[in-house]
Amino acid sequence: MPQENTILTLPYPIFAKAYEESSQSFAGGMGEVVLVRKRDDNSLYVKKSVLPHENPQKREQNEKLFMREMGILKELGQHPNIQSLHAIVIEQDASFAYLSEYVEGPTLHEIIKEQRYTKAVPSIPLVYSILKQIASALEHAYQKGIIHRDIKPANMIFNEETQRAVLIDFGIGKFAEQDDDKNMDITDPTKSSFRGTVHYISYEAVQACDRGLKIDFRTDMYSLGVSGYELLTYACPFDESELMVIIGQKETGAKGVPLKDRLALRETLHKVPKSLIAIIEKNLHPKRERRYQSYAKLLADLSYSECMYYLSSQANHHDTQAYLNEAYEDFRKYNDHKWWKVGRLQFLALRKIFSLFTSHKYDVAEEVYQFFLKTNAVGKKLLSYMLPWIVEQATKEIPKLETQKKYLSEEDYLYQKKALFSLAQKPTREIDLQILRQKTLSEDDDFEEIEEL
């Protein structure tokens, strides 16, 4: 994982003395890539330089893209889910190269290919983890005013030992406010005159050339949605072999195969949480206005969906409490945004209610429920998120209460039973839910009242 460091500038003699280059190199996008080893500590880095080209115009274009990528990496700095820049090298011919962090592990494209071959069932916790990590990387890039424009599994590396997902290759990335793509073309057969890879590129990116649309971060949102789709199904929404067919469909706004249909064909629909399907399908919408409008909201929804999945599949498991504690701590890091505040409080409240259920204190859980019903807009919004799980969990707890009956007094048993049956009353709770969902949040809403719980 990258550490805070100063980006070095290394003239070639100093570089050659301190680093040893591998004899093998390969072309990657607009650059030539080679693995290098630092002589004093054997640490590994990736060296990237401009890909040579006989055509002077193509060479100049490659140099512009390369310099822009180097500037982007420098601006991005350190993030645990982005391949970090280590040093800039001044070559013997006065051209530039750069050294970046070496991330060990296969790309997600390679993992998906193997899983497709072995017909493996996708790991839902792994999908959540990868999507959250890459979304976190994109949120960081967004804060720096940077769009990646080539989000796909081939540009994500996953280290199984550390469970770390890393976003790589900002070769066609750009600063959102720049418009320096004119007179540039890409001749890669998987790409067109627009930036990106056909299967993963957004509708508006395809349409941008003809309609003069300005591309923003929501193009990466779409590509992340396709990547999530592929992690679950090992296929893309548009899976035709003819690339021009896909381009034509996206130009007209046609939708690909719905995620639910693809999961049903693979007989894995029942294994994937409905909330996760909804999140991915939201980002696959042809109209960017209908996708997520912030990474903070996407991350909050992914974390909450993951929490619900974990609780429903591991209910009353001793690890669940630890999971909630860890998730809550993650949310505390992002308390400067409304949706992160909501998410943090969701986990705080869920942790509280879960502990009450597992300790069979149903009367106190019911009191907590009533507290949320009477609190401010934040509390009511939190309760609307938690209510389906509360009803489901309370229903599961009813048989367990019978096993505890012999340890309780008659009065206490009846009291706990009344509270539990009250929480499990689905029709009543659905009415509550309709009312609660009418509540909206603003930046001025008071979060402190709920945190005191």
Do 408 and 264 share a structural domain?
A: no
Residue 320: inside a domain:
no
Do 214 and 180 share a structural domain?
A: yes
Band of pLDDT at residue 128, cut at 50, 70 and 90 = very high
Residue 180: inside a domain:
yes
**What CATH number is associated with residue 287?**
1.10.510.10
pLDDT in tens, 433-449: 666 556 554 545 554 55
Residue 361: inside a domain:
yes
Band of pLDDT at residue 227, cut at 50, 70 and 90 = very high
- Cα–Cα distances in angstroms (integers) from residue 194 to residues 39, 239, 251, in the given order: 41, 19, 12
Do 334 and 290 share a structural domain?
A: no
Question: What six digits make up the tokens of 92?
Answer: 């013997």
CB 170 within 8 Å of CB 148: yes
- Taking the C-alpha atoms of residue 331 and residue 218, their distance in angstroms, rounded to an integer, is 23
- Taking the C-alpha atoms of residue 188 and residue 192, their distance in angstroms, rounded to an integer, is 7
Do 124 and 32 share a structural domain?
A: no
pTM, full prediction: 0.74
Do 229 and 133 share a structural domain?
A: yes
Domain that includes residue 51, residue range: 8-101
- Percent of the chain at pLDDT exceeding 70: 72
**What CATH number is associated with residue 61?**
3.30.200.20
Residue 308: inside a domain:
no
pLDDT in tens, 284-332: 999 999 999 999 889 888 887 887 776 665 434 445 555 555 555 555 5
Do 262 and 122 share a structural domain?
A: yes
Do 248 and 173 share a structural domain?
A: yes
Residue 165: inside a domain:
yes
Residue 332: inside a domain:
yes
- Taking the C-alpha atoms of residue 158 and residue 141, their distance in angstroms, rounded to an integer, is 19
Pick the range with the lowest mean pLDDT from 154-163, 219-228, 319-328, 340-349: 319-328
Do 43 and 19 share a structural domain?
A: yes
Q: How many helices (H) and strands (E) does the chain have?
A: 17, 10
Type of residue at 436: L
Do 204 and 269 share a structural domain?
A: yes
Boundary (domain end) residue, out of 101, 126, 151: 101
Boundary (domain end) residue, out of 69, 86, 101: 101
Q: Is the predicted pLDDT of residue 402 greater than 50, yes or no?
A: yes
Residue 323: inside a domain:
no
Boundary (domain end) residue, out of 279, 297, 315: 297
Residue 305: inside a domain:
no
Q: What is the dihedral of CA 186, 189, 192, 196, to 10 degrees?
A: -80
- Taking the C-alpha atoms of residue 418 and residue 412, their distance in angstroms, rounded to an integer, is 10
Phi/psi-derived region of residue 270, left when phi > 0, alpha when psi is between -120 and 50, beta in every other case: alpha
Do 371 and 232 share a structural domain?
A: no
pLDDT in tens, 73-119: 999 999 999 999 999 999 888 889 999 999 999 999 999 999 999 98
- Taking the C-alpha atoms of residue 320 and residue 307, their distance in angstroms, rounded to an integer, is 9
Report which of 216, 187, 225, 241 is spatially closest to residue 29, judged by C-alpha positions: 187
pLDDT in tens, 204-218: 888 776 666 788 999
**What's the confidence (pLDDT) of residue 270?**
83
Into how many domains does the chain fold?
3
Do 149 and 286 share a structural domain?
A: yes
- Tell me what the mean pLDDT of segment 34-59 comes to: 87
- The upper half-sphere exposure of residue 20, i.e. CA atoms within 13 Å in the direction of its Cβ, equals 8
Do 206 and 118 share a structural domain?
A: yes
The angle formed by the CA atoms of residues 273, 278 and 280, to the nearest 5 degrees, is: 100
